[in-house]
C-alpha cells in the first residue's frame, strides 16, 4: 500500500509551486499528465480491446495453430502438415474450389455488372429515384431465411413461378436447384437478388460525383451514349469499381448461407458445395477442426492476396 504513495510523492517534488523554475520538474509534471491522460484514454479503449482480443485476435492466432494440430478423442496432438496434405487429397476439396470459383465467376458476371448497369440507368432518371432506390435495397433488408425460402418456392420445378415465366415465353422448364448444371446458377441468381442493392447504391453515389462538364466535353467530341459510358463514366468511377470488384471477389469466395439454405449446402452431387461449406462440414459434421482450419488457411492466403491489392487501392483513394 505504501509503495504507490511513495512513488507519487516522488513524482510531485516540493518545488512544484514554482512552475517553469526547474526544467526537470516541468518534464516530470508533463510525464505525469501524459500518464494520466493515457490511462483515461486506454480506459475508453479497454472494452473494445478485450472483445477484440478474445473474439478476433486470439481466434486469428488460434486458426494458425489449429491448422497444424489434430484433435482425436479429446486429445490434441501436433500434426505438422498432415492436415494440409489431407485436404489436398480430399476430392471434395477440388470440387469445393471448382464450385466456389464458378460461384465467384457467375456472381461477378451478374452481381458486378447488373448493379452497375442499374445504377447508370437510375442515375439518368429525373423522377422516382427514391422509389427505385428503395426497391433495389429492399431485399438487402430481408432476413436471409425469408428470401432464400422464397426463392426455393420460385425454383420449384412443379409449381414454381420461374418455370411458369419460362413457359409463357415458350422456353423449356428447368430443374433449377435439382440439376447439377443449373444448381449453382440458381444459387447465384438468388444471391444477386438478395444483395445487389448495396452495390447499386454505392455506384449511384459514385456516379453522382462525376462532373457533368466531362459529359459535355465528350459530346462536343461527338461521343454517343456508349462512348460516353466507356470514356467518362467508367474511368471516373474506376476506383470504386475496382474496389467493389475486389470486395465482391473476397465476399463471394466466402459464400455459405445461400447454398446452405437453398440446397442444404451440397446440392445435387455436391454441385453447390463451397469452400466455406466444406470448412463447416469438416469442423461441425466430422469434428475435424484441424482440417477445417487448414482449409481456412488456404482460403485466407488466397484472399490475403486480394486484400493486399485492396489496401493498396484504398490507400490511393484517400488522396
Partner 1 sequence: MTANTLVPRRKRAATVEVARPRTLISPAQLGRSRGRAVYWIVFALVVLLFTLVFLGPLYWMVTGGLKTTQEVVQSPPTAFPTSMHPENYEQAWKVMDLAKLLFNTLYYAFGALAFQLIFDVAAAYSLSKLRPIFGKAILGLMLMTLMIPATVLVVPQYLTVLDVPIIERNLLNSPWAIWLPSVTNAFNIFLLKRFFDSIPRELLDAAAIDGASAMRTLRSVVLPISRPILGVVSIFAVVGVWKDFLWPMLTLPDPGKQTLNVGIYSLASGVPENVLIAALTIASVPTLLIFLLFQRNIMSGLTAGGLKG
Query: Which residues in the 30-49 window bind partner 1 by CB under 8 A?
Result: 37-38, 40-42, 44-45, 47-49
Q: Under the criterion CB under 8 A, does residue 117 sit at the interface with partner 1?
A: no
Distance of CA 127 to the CA centre of its chain: 33
In the bound state with partner 1, the residue whose beta carbon lies nearer, of 1 and 48, is 48
Give the x/- contact pattern for partner 1 in 45-84, rule: CB under 8 A.
x-xxx-xx-xxxxxxx-xx--x------------------
Number of residues that bind partner 1 (CB under 8 A): 109
Residues 207-266 that bind partner 1 (CB under 8 A): 207-217, 219, 225, 228-229, 232-233, 239-240, 243, 250, 253-254, 256-257, 260-261
In whole angstroms, how close is the CB of 2 to partner 1 at the nearest point? Answer: 28
Q: Which of 284, 286, 285, 264 is nearest to 274 (CA)?
A: 264
Q: Which residue in 113, 146, 171, 234 binds partner 1 (CB under 8 A)?
A: 146
Q: Which residue in 115, 267, 270, 296 binds partner 1 (CB under 8 A)?
A: 296
Contact 126, 187 (CB under 8 A): no
In whole angstroms, how close is the CB of 14 to partner 1 at the nearest point? Answer: 26
Say how far apart CA 187 and CA 146 lie, in whole Å. 15
Contact 84, 67 (CB under 8 A): yes
Answer positive or negative: Cα dihedral of 176, 179, 184, 187: positive
Residues 158-217 that bind partner 1 (CB under 8 A): 158-159, 161, 164, 193, 198, 201-202, 205-217
In the bound state with partner 1, the residue whose beta carbon lies nearer, of 240 and 266, is 240
Q: Under the criterion CB under 8 A, does residue 101 sit at the interface with partner 1?
A: no
* Contact range with partner 1 by CB under 8 A, out of 11-19, 80-88, 177-185, 278-286: 278-286
Say how far apart CA 175 and CA 156 lie, in whole Å. 8
Q: Which residue in 3, 89, 126, 170 binds partner 1 (CB under 8 A)?
A: 126
Say how far apart CA 222 and CA 208 lie, in whole Å. 23
In whole angstroms, how close is the CB of 75 to partner 1 at the nearest point? Answer: 15
In the bound state with partner 1, the residue whose beta carbon lies nearer, of 22 and 229, is 229
In whole angstroms, how close is the CB of 137 to partner 1 at the nearest point? Answer: 7
* Contact range with partner 1 by CB under 8 A, out of 9-17, 94-102, 105-113, 147-155: 147-155
Distance of CA 103 to the CA centre of its chain: 15
In whole angstroms, how close is the CB of 180 to partner 1 at the nearest point? Answer: 23
Contact 173, 167 (CB under 8 A): yes
In whole angstroms, how close is the CB of 15 to partner 1 at the nearest point? Answer: 25
In the bound state with partner 1, the residue whose beta carbon lies nearer, of 30 and 219, is 219
In the bound state with partner 1, the residue whose beta carbon lies nearer, of 216 and 269, is 216
Rounded to 10°, the helix 289-318/58-66 angle is 130
* Contact range with partner 1 by CB under 8 A, out of 8-16, 19-27, 79-87, 138-146: 138-146
Amino acid at each position: 500500500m505504501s509503495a504507490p504513495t511513495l512513488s507519487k510523492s516522488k513524482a510531485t517534488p516540493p518545488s512544484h509551486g514554482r512552475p517553469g523554475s526547474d526544467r526537470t520538474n516541468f518534464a516530470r509534471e508533463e510525464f505525469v499528465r501524459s500518464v494520466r491522460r493515457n490511462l483515461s484514454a486506454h480506459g475508453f479503449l479497454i472494452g473494445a480491446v478485450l472483445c477484440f482480443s478474445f473474439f478476433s485476435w486470439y481466434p486469428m492466432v488460434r486458426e494458425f495453430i489449429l491448422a497444424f494440430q489434430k484433435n482425436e478423442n479429446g486429445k490434441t496432438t501436433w500434426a505438422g502438415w498432415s492436415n494440409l496434405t489431407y485436404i489436398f487429397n480430399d476430392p471434395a476439396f477440388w470440387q469445393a474450389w471448382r464450385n466456389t470459383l464458378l460461384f465467384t465467376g457467375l456472381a461477378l458476371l451478374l452481381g458486378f455488372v447488373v448493379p452497375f448497369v442499374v445504377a447508370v440507368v437510375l442515375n439518368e432518371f429525373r423522377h422516382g429515384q427514391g422509389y427505385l432506390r428503395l426497391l433495389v435495397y429492399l431485399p438487402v433488408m430481408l432476413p436471409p431465411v425469408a428470401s432464400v425460402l422464397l426463392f426455393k418456392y420460385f425454383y420449384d420445378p412443379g409449381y414454381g413461378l420461374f418455370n411458369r415465366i419460362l413457359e409463357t415465353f415458350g422456353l423449356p422448364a428447368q430443374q433449377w436447384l435439382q440439376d447439377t448444371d443449373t444448381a449453382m446458377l440458381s444459387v447465384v441468381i438468388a444471391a444477386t437478388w438478395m444483395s445487389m442493392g448495396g452495390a447499386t447504391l454505392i455506384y449511384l453515389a459514385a456516379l453522382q460525383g462525376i462532373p457533368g462538364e466531362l459529359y459535355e466535353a465528350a459530346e462536343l467530341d461527338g461521343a454517343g451514349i456508349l462512348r460516353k459510358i466507356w470514356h467518362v463514366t467508367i474511368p471516373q468511377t474506376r476506383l470504386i469499381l475496382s474496389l467493389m470488384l475486389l470486395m465482391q471477389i473476397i465476399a463471394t469466395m466466402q459464400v455459405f448461407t445461400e447454398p446452405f439454405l437453398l440446397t442444404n449446402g451440397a446440392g445435387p452431387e455436391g454441385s453447390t458445395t463451397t469452400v466455406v461449406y466444406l470448412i463447416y462440414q469438416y469442423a461441425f459434421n466430422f469434428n475435424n477442426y484441424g482440417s477445417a482450419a487448414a482449409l481456412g488457411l488456404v482460403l485466407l492466403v488466397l484472399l490475403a492476396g486480394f486484400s493486399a491489392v485492396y489496401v493498396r487501392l484504398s490507400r490511393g483513394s484517400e488522396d
